[in-house]
Chain A
Amino acid sequence: MVEGLLYLTAALGATAFLLALGRFIRGPSAADRVAAFDVLTIISITGIVLAALAEGRGIYLDVALVYALLSFLGVITVAHYLERSV
C-alpha cells in the first residue's frame, strides 16, 4: 500500500514535470518561460525528497534547501533584467 502510493507520487510528479516542460518549450514570452523554470525547480524539490526517501539518506535534503534559495534568486535576476529592458 505504502509502496504503491510512493509509485503513484512518482508518476504524478513525472507528469507535472512533463507539463511544465511543455510550457517551457512553448511559452510565447520570456516571462512564461521564467514561470515554467520556477515550477520546474519546485517539482525538482519533490524529486529530491523522493530520492532521499528511496536512498534513506538525510544528507540529500540539503540540496533541496539550496534549490529553494536558488529558484528565488534566479527569478529575481531575470525579472530585474526584464524590467530594465523595456
Chain B
Amino acid sequence: MTEIALATGFLLILIGLYGALTNRNLLRMIVAFSVANTGVNLVLVGVGYLRGRAAPILDATLPAAEAPARIIDPLPQALVLTAIVIGVGTTALMLAYAYRLYLTRGTLDISRLRELKW
C-alpha cells in the first residue's frame, strides 16, 4: 500500500505541475494546483503507513493498554489534516484574486496580462 500511495502521489504532483505550466486560463491553473495539493497529501499519509497495523482510534476492538504496539503513527495524519484545511484556504485566496483580476481586466487569459512583462 505504501508504494502504491507514494507512486500515485508523485504522479499526481507531476500531472498538477504539468497542468499549471501548460494551461493559459487562470481557473485551469488553480484546478491543476488543487490536483497537486491532493498528491502532496497522499504522499504524506503514505509515508506514515505501516503494514499490518490499525488506525489510531481507540474503541472496543483496540484497548488503550495494547495500543502503542498496534497503531500506526498518528502524527502524519494530523499534519495532513491541517494541510487539507490550509489547502482549501489557499485555493479560496487564489480564486478571489482571479475573480478580482477578471473584474478589473475582463479576461482570465494570462497571455493577455502584459503589465509585468519586460
Q: Do chains A and B touch in the complex (CB under 8 A)?
A: yes
* Chain A contact residues, CB within 8 Å of chain B: 55-60
Query: In the complex, what distance in Å separates the CA atom of A57 from the CA atom of B59?
Result: 9
A77 to B57, CA, bound (A): 33
Which residues of chain B are near A60, meaning CB under 8 Å?
55
Cα-based distance from A55 to B55 in the complex (angstroms)? 10
Given contacts A57-B55, A58-B59, 12 further A-B contacts (CB under 8 A): A55-B54, A55-B55, A56-B61, A57-B54, A57-B57, A57-B59, A57-B61, A58-B61, A59-B55, A59-B57, A59-B59, A60-B55
Q: Which residues of B are in contact with A by a Cβ distance under 8 Å? A: 54-55, 57, 59, 61
Chain B residues positioned under 8 Å from A57 (CB to CB): 54-55, 57, 59, 61
A56 to B57, CA, bound (A): 13
Set of chain A residues within 8 Å of B59, measured between Cβ atoms = 57-59
Give A73 Cβ to nearest chain B Cβ, in Å: 15
Q: Which of A55, A57, A58 has the most CB of B within 10 A?
A: A57
Q: Report the nearest B residue to A58, measured CB to CB.
A: B59
In whole Å, how far is A7's beta carbon from the nearest beta carbon of chain B? 19
Q: B13 to chain A: closest CB distance in Å? A: 22
Query: Lowest 7 A-B CB distances belong to which pairs?
Result: A59-B57, A59-B59, A57-B55, A56-B61, A57-B61, A59-B55, A57-B54
